Amino acid sequence: MRDRVKIPKISVEQRRTSFEEVAQSLDLAAAQAEAERCLHCKHRPCVAGCPVGVPIPEFLSELKAGNVEQAAKLVLEKNALPAVCGRVCPQESQCEGVCVRGIKGEPIAIGALERFVAEYRSPDTGQTKPTLTGPKVAVIGSGPAGLSAAADLAKAGLQVTLFETLHAAGGVLRYGIPEFRLPKRILEEEIAYIQALGVDIQLDTLVGKTISLDDLRQEGYRAFFIATGAGLPSFLGIPGENYNGVFSANEYLTRVNLMQAYQFPEYDTPVKVGKRVAVLGAGNVAMDAARTALRLGAEEVRIVYRRSRAEMPARAEEIENAEEEGVLFDLLVAPLEIVGKDGWVTGLKLQRMTLGEPGPDGRCRPIPVVGSEYLLEVDTVIVAIGQSPNPVLFSTIPGLQVAAKGNVVVDANGRTNIVDVWAGGDAATGAATVIKAMGAGREAAAAIIRSLNEEA
């Protein structure tokens, strides 16, 4: 049995000093060899494991035969952002996680192959612009859920306008994911594909403030899809979180991406980079923040997490990359207080933990060890413990039902309690994965299309 292809990566030395993409693309020979490992199972578990339903065996067959253009077309029918998903999706817990090859060996490298066909295809593959004669639909937010929904709506012939608050589209894909994991040029190419379908992207527009849903209704919009993501950072509520030198991971990564700190010194940016950085949390966002701090010149970066390595929610690939690059891990410790002097962070008071019995979520509950407190000297603290939906838009829609955690309440089709308003992605679920947001965008788009067809 042929071994799974090894994904090439740039050297650790390069990674520590630049924002160059770490994981590199396969070449055609390696991609075809990996595609040949597919067993083409009749029950196709990999397709069921993909939130957007990519026909994986079919596109692998075309790739194996050398028909890269056809393989790309098959992927694009279901996934409007394949080069993005091939990089950032947690394939190990989705399509690859249920791959039959993985039962007695390693699963097919589906993510790497999706990335390959997305990059290897001709720029105009799948870019036939449909005739846009249907009703007008507004998509609010240009992250993965919004982009995915907009693409499907346009393919159905609807006139789609995508509204984005900031000066460039992409949402979390642009402002939350570092260049070394998702290059901006790749995102630009994916967005260009969606625009080629006829989607009109309106930037610098804060729906709810600069323009209301009622204004848009008067302009003829018949349906709305809210895809504003989860941009409101969570904090621990411990003493000292207001000191200078404390960031939410959301703010930290947005500053770096928005102000192009990854291109320093060509671009100067006011992101303060300390010498000793502590990142609180152990998800993918925490790994992104820690690895970014290293690249910006921090001498020591630590992940601080109250559970063990086995409970860390970040992808194994991202944890491995962080370790290779020199990020340190302080596990089974919980922050009690951020210590400071003259308004600036000087340290982090921590307490050691032990793990108790599993809780309702299946994860072992951390229990404080009495008398185990100690002080870690740091000058920067980045809080990466989660995010929730921003209420700015929700508060401007009279009667919109919002749950206690701040997310919009939707039914199985993504419809809210307002008849012409749908919502999906992190705005409806709270912070989740890119591909799950895309799946929600596709489901809501299908529901909007059905609803408008019934009204016609």
Q: Which CATH number fits domain 12-120: 1.20.210.10, 1.10.1060.10, 3.40.50.300, 1.10.3720.10?
A: 1.10.1060.10
pLDDT at res. 269: 67
Neighbours of 61 (CB within 10 A): 18
Query: Quick one: fold of 136-231+388-455?
Result: FAD/NAD(P)-binding domain (3.50.50)
pLDDT at res. 231: 87
pLDDT at res. 430: 86
Nearest to 434 by CA among 29, 41, 85: 85
List phi, psi (to 5°) of 306. -85, -5
Architecture of domain 235-385: 3-Layer(bba) Sandwich (3.50)
Distance CA 408, CA 242 (A): 29
Ranges under pLDDT 70 in the chain:
1, 126-127, 264, 269-270, 456
Torsion of CA 150, 155, 157, 159, to 10 degrees: 20
Distance CA 63, CA 451 (A): 37
Q: What is the pLDDT of residues 87-119, one digit of tens each?
A: 999 999 999 999 999 999 999 999 999 999 999
pLDDT at res. 1: 63
Q: What is the pLDDT of residues 56-72, one digit of tens each?
A: 999 999 999 999 999 99
